[in-house]
Amino acid sequence: MRNNVEEDRLDFYKRWGRLARPYFRWQIGQFYPFLGRAIGDIGCGIGNFTEFFKLKGLTYVGFEPDKKLAEEFKRSHTGTNTRLAVHGDICTPEAVAEIKAAGLDTILCINVLEHIEDDKRALFNMADGICRGGHICIIVPAFMFLYGSLDSLDGHRRRYSKKEMLLMVKDLNVDVAECYYMNLLGALGWFLKARIMKEKRQGDENYLIGHFLGPFMSFAERIARPPFGLSLVMVLKKRS
């Protein structure tokens, strides 16, 4: 643990990427039935999800507006099927044009929408850019009553409910293929650490707990989806 050591955003993403791989696998696993051949990863950071697509031989285009994170991505990931978008801000028309030019049939937006000031514009641009019949795969933090110190630490502007997300996408040219909560135990732990204890840093033990409990939670939630959770999963399909 290094709870007394100052850590910038890049260092945090590196530590997160090193310790949270089982959790990333659980998150990506929500979307395997919906993956096409060309993936756009909105807010890709330093590329913590790239390995899951390299193994499948899929085309991967990362979109990242933070220059420092984008530079780290370019240093860490090379290959004919993996690249960083020129225009990393999904709220710009240039990013939409790049999605269209790349022919992306799948867009990932995992724990990113809550950071974006104009989240409605971001969703509109994803739906505008993606191929017809393509899927937009979203994970966002759930329930504002869970909002606490760890949300503030990571720059979260908000958390979401099903009702809020469904209202946000109802006028888009998409159909809702999936919408459900995940990670019930994580919600309880977040409430304890972010709301009651008001922790100011994501300690390594938070990821290690998830490492050990993740397989159990993943199995249990495949059998019965929980009524609430740390995160909300949504899959949108663009109408043909």
Buried b or exposed e, range 183-193, using 16+ CB within 10 angstroms = bbbbbeebbeb
In a domain, 104, yes or no: yes
Question: Mean pLDDT over residues 122-127, rounded?
Answer: 98
In a domain, 1, yes or no: no
> What's residue 130's pLDDT?
98
Question: Mean pLDDT over residues 93-104, rounded?
Answer: 98
In a domain, 140, yes or no: yes
Which domain does 194 fall in, by range?
Answer: 9-238
Q: Are 110 and 139 in contact (CB under 8 A)?
A: yes
In a domain, 197, yes or no: yes
Query: How far apart are the C-alpha atoms of 239 and 76, rounded to whole Å?
Result: 36
In a domain, 28, yes or no: yes
Copy the structure tokens of residue 173: 């040219």
Domain with 227 in it: what CATH number?
3.40.50.150
Query: How far apart are the C-alpha atoms of 176 and 54, rounded to whole Å?
Result: 28
In a domain, 33, yes or no: yes
* Range with lowest mean pLDDT among 56-65, 121-130, 167-176, 227-236: 56-65
Query: How far apart are the C-alpha atoms of 136 and 130, rounded to whole Å?
Result: 8
Summarised one tens digit per residue, pLDDT across range 14-67 is 888 888 888 899 999 999 999 999 999 999 999 999 988 877 789 999 999 999
In this model, does residue 225 exceed pLDDT 60?
Answer: yes
In a domain, 58, yes or no: yes
Copy the structure tokens of residue 67: 């220059």
pTM here is 0.93
Three-class DSSP labels, 46-105: CCCCHHHHHCCCCEEEEECCCHHHHHHHHHHCCCCCEEECCCCCCCCHHHHHHHHHHCCC
What pLDDT band is residue 80 in, cutting at 50, 70 and 90? Answer: confident
Please list the alpha-helical segments (H only) found in the chain: 9-19, 21-29, 50-54, 67-76, 93-102, 119-129, 149-153, 162-169, 184-190, 204-223
Q: Are 11 and 203 in contact (CB under 8 A)?
A: no
How many separate domains does the chain show?
1
Query: How far apart are the C-alpha atoms of 231 and 184, rounded to whole Å?
Result: 8
Query: How far apart are the C-alpha atoms of 108 and 232, rounded to whole Å?
Result: 14
Summarised one tens digit per residue, pLDDT across range 139-196 is 999 999 999 999 998 999 999 999 999 999 999 999 999 999 999 999 999 999 999 9
In this model, does residue 134 exceed pLDDT 90?
Answer: yes
Tell me, what DSSP letter sits at residue 191? I
In a domain, 96, yes or no: yes
Q: Are 109 and 8 in contact (CB under 8 A)?
A: no
